[in-house]
A and B are shown apart, each in its own frame.
Chain A
């Protein structure tokens, strides 16, 4: 009995001070709605491949040139699988719904 007690204490101490042997991570999925309008579907799909669409919604209202530059960066720098036609649709959508009128 006495012996068992000592062993249990030893295990508790080890568990209390040692690291967790394994840690898991499940990042919750947050629903992000893009504004309805022409091009919303392409944008929600294609701009959601590598990151969530809040990469768009958190941005300041921006000019069409700025959005066009961003879409180009995603394609040229990060290899986004987006065609010229899709890029145009998305740029128009972003400037209409997340634009600053410029």
Chain B
């Protein structure tokens, strides 16, 4: 339970910080050249990956902010029949299967459970897929399939305890309101082992940054599995089913799997011998300022800034290099918003001589997990976390 339960005051402080940033004009201008930008309902201008089902990427400048505003949080759906409307008068979460009491929970019922919250990174397992070499098919995300959001809702465990899980239960499956375009396409259903599902910190969230969820991010409620990749964070949640046998749906058994090796990676271009489901996020950083390919002035103060996060362990150290990895120094870490949140790092820099500089940043978490210098690879293009290089020109 450490650094889990946020008080309502802390929650509000998080939301307040965002409002203040927006008021100061902290929201970025969107670059019009290059990627195709679209504005979908309740969202800001986002990078279009796909239209139907929608996959929208967050433009890089938003990562200067500690909390990602709701309208800028990336969007990722799998099957194209999205709910066109949700009415809270009729929407329910049905809890059924191997339980003592079936439940049909309205939003009011959900709000009767203790309300808990925390700030946690939501990241797609395919974030960074477009950097994979050799390239692989799939959503061609840059770095923008991640967000740091303050979530609030009811503990999944409290809901499951109310339903009463019967002995012999193995997995719990989660379904949302999205439906397949043809009956032959498997419905998007995910599962967690009972022990995982009963962890304290998994919530059914009905608030993002103190507000209701945008439809495209899962209104009225979505599962939040902090520390694990977004594939489990089922949107527009409608069914929780307790199962006495292992879940064998397509999106767990055949999709979202990585090679069964320590890094989830294999020799580029080869095929894995055995695969396991995607689970915990690995450790990663992103340098947000300066941006790759930009030009800085010699002898002028510059600040290298970025973010770092690592599943369920706090980042304790970020080191920065401005000479392509030859020498490293510790960066200053920003406000700690808990082990599921990202942390910002800052590194003052005054380049003396003109030239090309390669900036790198490497994070380590409280149990010593860090990032590889060389890219790792797997066939679906998951788990991208290599130490990034940002190249700038100083004039």
Contact = CB atoms under 8 A, between A and B. Distances in A.
Contacts of B54: 27
Contact of B80 (A20, A32, A51, A58): A51
Contacts of A77: 250, 254
Contacts of A83: none
B135 interface: yes
Contacts of B53: 51
Contact of A58 (B86, B88, B139, B184): B139
Interface in A18-56: 19-30, 32, 49-52, 54-55
Interface residues of A, number: 30
B107 interface: yes
A97 to B, nearest CB: 16
Interface in B110-133: 130
A60 B181 contact: no
A78 to B, nearest CB: 5
Interface of A: 19-30, 32, 49-52, 54-55, 58-60, 62, 66, 70, 77-81
A27 B181 contact: no
Contacts of B135: 60, 62
Interface of B: 36, 38, 40-41, 48-54, 79-80, 82-89, 107, 130, 135-137, 139-140, 180-186, 206, 212, 215-216, 219-220, 250, 254
Most buried by B among A51, A66, A81: A51
A20 B107 CA distance: 11
By Cβ-Cβ distance, the 6 closest A-B pairs, closest first, are A79-B184, A60-B135, A52-B51, A52-B52, A25-B215, A50-B181
A1 B173 CA distance: 54
A19 B50 contact: no
Given A22-B88, A23-B212, A23-B220, 19 more contacts: A19-B107, A19-B220, A20-B212, A22-B85, A22-B87, A22-B89, A26-B41, A28-B40, A30-B38, A50-B180, A51-B80, A51-B181, A52-B52, A60-B136, A60-B140, A66-B137, A78-B184, A78-B185, A79-B185
